[in-house]
């Protein structure tokens, strides 16, 4: 599927979050990011990645983010991760998103929770240009960079935005093994189509870091977290109002669970540090 088409009807949207708050009788005045990121009833939040808000905080700890950090979130979507970082740590975040409508949604939700002074939403194609940011501390990507065909052009463009001791913090889907059986090949191809991603082994990113003199200081596998996430989402989505989620999106969750169970894919977090 086309990436723009996927996100035009994606369940993680401003419309669905505001509708959920209205159903729950939550007044829009005085909201914080936690109101958007946490929904114990139906799990309709602004967090578009396995593990939700907790995965943001865990990756932030691994990347040593603090109030003094400047973060560039590339592929920010509607700004969920960026706002959690700004709310939890008080750090400034530049949220980069190539889809203009989702960038506008990110800006409006950020203003709604009073974080516009910390989160700057920028409409930009991350593979063709970069913002006027220098000496950033962390280049952040969460369930976004698998949309890129290769890590190499992306890293060549964006690593120069980091300070000499800056870090790359990445959480995404990867191939666990090369599929050989016909049904495995078909399953991976279907998932790549449904999500508009290019699944590569984790080692592909590790090598890309190494040749650019970035030392990997953190690498963790989160396959079980991802499997539990998609299984839970499939179950809880039955309570969502009609029209909240498309059949294609649900199929993606089903295929992801099967691919995880077969050991074809995994979800991992990586942190790499520039070494001069």
Quick: pLDDT tens for 130-159: 778 889 999 999 999 999 999 999 999 999
Task: Residue 91: give its domain's CATH number.
Answer: 3.40.50.150
pLDDT digits (tens, 9 = 90+) for 83-116: 999 999 999 999 999 999 999 999 999 999 999 9
- Domain span at residue 205 reads 3-274
pTM across the whole model: 0.96
Per the structure, the count of domains in the chain is 1
pLDDT by residue, tens only, the chain of 276 residues: 688 899 999 999 999 999 999 999 999 999 999 999 999 999 999 999 999 999 999 999 999 999 999 999 999 999 999 999 999 999 999 999 999 999 999 999 999 999 999 999 999 999 988 778 889 999 999 999 999 999 999 999 999 999 999 999 999 999 999 899 999 999 999 999 999 999 999 999 999 999 999 999 999 999 999 999 999 999 999 999 999 999 999 999 999 999 999 999 999 999 999 986
DSSP 29: T
Within 52-163, residue ranges assigned H as helices are 52-62, 80-89, 100-112, 151-158
Dist. CA 276–CA 262, nearest whole Å: 40
Q: CA–CA separation, 74 vs 138, rounded Å?
A: 11
Contact 266, 223 (CB under 8 A): yes
- Cα dihedral across residues 204, 205, 206, 207: positive or negative: positive
Report the alpha-carbon distance of residue 174 to residue 59 in Å, rounded: 17
């Amino acid at each position: 599927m086309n990436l723009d088409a996927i996100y035009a009807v994606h369940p993680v949207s401003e419309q669905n979050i505001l509708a959920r708050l209205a159903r729950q009788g939550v007044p829009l005045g005085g909201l914080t990011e936690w109101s958007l990121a946490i929904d114990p009833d139906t799990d309709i939040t602004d967090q578009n990645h396995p593990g939700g808000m907790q995965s943001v905080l865990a990756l932030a700890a691994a990347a040593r983010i603090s109030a003094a950090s400047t973060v560039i979130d590339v592929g920010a979507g509607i700004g969920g991760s960026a706002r959690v970082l700004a709310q939890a740590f008080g750090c400034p975040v530049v949220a980069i998103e190539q889809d203009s409508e989702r960038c506008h949604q990110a800006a409006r939700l950020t203003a709604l929770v009073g974080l516009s002074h910390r989160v700057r939403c920028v409409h930009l194609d991350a593979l063709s240009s970069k913002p006027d940011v220098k000496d950033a501390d962390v280049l952040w990507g969460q369930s976004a960079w698998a949309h890129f065909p290769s890590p190499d052009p992306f890293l060549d463009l964006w690593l120069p935005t980091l300070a000499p001791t800056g870090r790359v913090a990445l959480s995404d889907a990867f191939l666990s093994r090369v599929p050989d059986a016909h049904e495995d090949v078909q399953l991976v191809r279907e998932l790549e189509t449904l999500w508009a991603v290019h699944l590569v082994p984790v080692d592909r990113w590790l090598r890309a870091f190494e040749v650019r003199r970035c030392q990997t200081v953190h690498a963790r596998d989160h396959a079980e977290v991802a499997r539990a996430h998609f299984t839970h989402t499939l179950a809880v989505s039955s309570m969502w109002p009609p029209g909240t989620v498309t059949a294609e999106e649900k199929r993606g969750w089903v295929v992801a669970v099967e691919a995880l169970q077969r050991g074809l894919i995994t979800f991992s977090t990586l942190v790499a540090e520039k070494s001069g």
